[in-house]
């Protein structure tokens, strides 16, 4: 008969025990787990129990986050009690904490001073690296110029940097905020702070953090966002598990395919997208000398087999007029059509290319965009 063993993953010698308050997530195989506690499980790390409990009941004070693997507990950071719905697995609609499949990385939101950064009491996104030692937690959404974040975000300090995207109407499945690309973590978040070139201060900007750098993906137009209940025009829709695809909704004109300023859905792909076709030749003008002479190549005097040529990625819609090629005739053999091999799109492109997928009504001013290469 098979026997199963129940293991206490929060086992501690701290006075009062673990006082587990909730669960944040775990690795795919369950070897690494993350949980929250009111108590101080590691002496000298994080808040004391008295600091966490504070005054004002269960809705006040703070919690400490701990990770556990193979019986060893490590300190991650802290979060305030009013953020429990977003940090802990209590409400599937609000929960945003995410763990990488191998359990090494934990992403969570907090308005506490996790790394000593003066966040002014607003939510910031933090990434914990279990292999990072005592300095394993990094603020990915904090300003890199050292200035504090805006303490008034659309009239609400609880503006979520890891927004579930209620505009997408997908409450049961959170967007993929944390991705692992070539073994390195990528974090996608939103912030009204200008953290990268091209960002619009005070408006919703969608960013990517990777390799300790922040890059802007899309932004709301100036003046588009006035309060936390108006909804966002620039919305993060999610990403693939390896970060190769990032899904956005924005009024910005990000590619040559998008010919208007309405809301459009994009897939920002690494080494993807479609190249802009070459401009069509100028029309023939009979009053201008030489404009109707073509390429200057004379055709064959003897009719021959037709050779089909294509431009662009081989699309039939881009087929060019047939050219005549001279060949010798042989008895009892039919003419053969020769077809050039079409080039596959995006073979030599680097970085994310944004591909327009559709449009919704809401006219906005187009802005520029920058995307770093991978």
Which residues, including other chains, have CB under 8 Å from residue 307's CB and lie 6 or more apart? 322, 323, 325, 337, 338, 339
Integer Cα distance of 108 and 174 in angstroms: 13
Q: Is 66 within 8 Å of 41 (Cβ atoms)?
A: yes
Q: What is the Rg, in whole angstroms, of the alpha carbon atoms belonging to the chain?
A: 28
Integer Cα distance of 283 and 128 in angstroms: 61
* Cα 129 from chain centre: 19
Integer Cα distance of 24 and 149 in angstroms: 25
Q: Is 49 helix (H, G, I), strand (E, B) or coil?
A: helix
Sign of CA dihedral 57, 52, 64, 179: positive
Smallest CA-to-CA distance from 255 within 121, 358, 357, 356 is with 356
pLDDT of residue 184: 94
Q: Is 218 helix (H, G, I), strand (E, B) or coil?
A: strand
pLDDT of residue 208: 95
The burial class, CB within 10 Å (0-12 / 13-18 / 19+), for 85 is middle
Q: Residue 271 CB: number of other CB atoms within 10 A?
A: 15
Residue 128: beta bridge partners?
106, 137
pLDDT of residue 327: 40
Structure tokens at 171: 């409450």
Q: Is 272 within 8 Å of 346 (Cβ atoms)?
A: yes
pLDDT (tens place) for every residue of the chain, 374 residues total: 566 777 777 767 677 777 888 999 999 999 999 999 999 998 888 888 888 887 666 667 899 999 999 889 999 999 999 899 889 987 777 889 999 999 999 999 998 888 877 667 788 999 999 998 767 899 999 888 878 787 767 666 667 888 876 566 666 677 899 999 999 999 999 888 889 998 888 888 899 999 999 999 988 777 666 554 445 678 888 899 999 899 888 877 777 777 776 777 888 888 777 777 888 877 787 777 776 765 544 444 444 333 333 333 433 344 343 343 344 444 444 444 434 444 444 433 345 655 544 443 333 333 333 343 33
Integer Cα distance of 269 and 349 in angstroms: 11
Integer Cα distance of 164 and 157 in angstroms: 17
Helix (H) or strand (E) holding 298: none
Integer Cα distance of 254 and 356 in angstroms: 8
Q: Is 216 within 8 Å of 197 (Cβ atoms)?
A: yes
Integer Cα distance of 347 and 103 in angstroms: 34
């Amino acid at each position: 008969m098979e026997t199963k063993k129940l293991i206490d993953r929060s086992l501690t010698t701290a006075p009062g025990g673990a006082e587990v308050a909730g669960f944040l997530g775990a690795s795919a195989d369950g070897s690494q787990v993350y949980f929250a506690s009111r108590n101080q499980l590691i002496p000298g790390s994080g808040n004391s129990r008295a600091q966490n409990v504070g005054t004002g009941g269960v809705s006040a004070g703070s919690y400490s986050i701990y990770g556990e693997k193979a019986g060893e507990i490590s300190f991650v950071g802290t979060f305030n009690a009013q953020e429990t719905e977003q940090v802990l697995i209590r409400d599937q609609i609000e929960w945003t904490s995410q763990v990488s499949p191998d359990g090494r990385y934990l992403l969570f939101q907090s308005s506490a001073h996790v790394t000593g950064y003066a966040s002014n009491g607003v939510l910031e996104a933090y990434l914990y690296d279990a292999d990072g030692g005592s300095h394993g937690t990094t603020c990915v959404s904090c300003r890199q110029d050292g200035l504090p974040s805006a303490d008034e975000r659309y009239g609400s300090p609880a503006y979520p940097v890891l927004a579930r995207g209620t505009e997408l109407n997908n409450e049961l499945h959170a967007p993929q905020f944390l991705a692992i690309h070539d073994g390195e973590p990528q974090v996608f978040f939103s912030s009204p702070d200008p953290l990268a070139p091209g960002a619009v201060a005070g408006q919703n900007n969608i960013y990517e953090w990777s390799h300790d750098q922040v890059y802007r993906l899309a932004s709301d137009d100036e003046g588009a966002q006035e309060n936390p209940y108006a909804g966002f025009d620039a919305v993060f829709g999610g990403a693939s598990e390896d970060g190769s695809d990032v899904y956005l909704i924005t009024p910005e004109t990000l590619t040559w395919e998008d010919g208007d300023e309405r809301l459009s859905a994009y897939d920002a792909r690494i080494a993807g997208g479609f190249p802009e076709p070459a401009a069509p030749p100028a029309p023939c003008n009979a009053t201008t000398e030489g404009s109707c002479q073509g390429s200057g190549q004379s055709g064959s005097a003897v009719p021959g087999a037709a050779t089909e040529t294509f431009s662009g990625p081989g699309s039939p819609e881009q087929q060019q007029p047939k050219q005549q090629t001279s060949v010798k005739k042989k008895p009892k053999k039919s003419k053969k059509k020769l077809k050039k091999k079409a080039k596959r799109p995006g073979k030599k492109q680097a970085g994310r290319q944004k591909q327009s997928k559709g449009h919704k009504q809401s006219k906005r001013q187009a802005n520029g965009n920058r995307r770093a290469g991978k």
